[in-house]
Amino acid sequence: MEDAPEQYDPSREYPGRIYCICNDTVGGTMVLCENHRDNDCKGKWFHLRCAGLHRSPAKNVRWYCMDCRKKLGRGLLHNGVVR
């Protein structure tokens, strides 16, 4: 099993900022959409539970949010995870 990537807490840089599709603040482990630089990516950072993940993706995989999956046609069948 591969180690999960180091966890980053975006609240340190952007306190009080709204994240995720749930429109909540930072809480718990979060995952960054690989397409986060695209203005169409609505959440950029997502709570694992909102992303439908049980743990952070491994370092060698990419994860895309649902909107970016549809837009890019990536990760549609694997919960957003692309190897």
Question: Does 36 count as an annotated binding residue?
Answer: no
Question: Does 78 count as an annotated binding residue?
Answer: no
Between CA 82 and CA 12 the distance in angstroms is: 28
CB 30 within 8 A of CB 10: yes
Q: What is the amino acid identity at position 16?
A: G
Between CA 33 and CA 51 the distance in angstroms is: 10
> What is the residue whose two structure tokens read 């957003």?
80
Question: Does 47 count as an annotated binding residue?
Answer: yes
Please report, in range form, the residues annotated as the binding site for Zn(2+): 20, 22, 33, 41, 47, 50, 65, 68
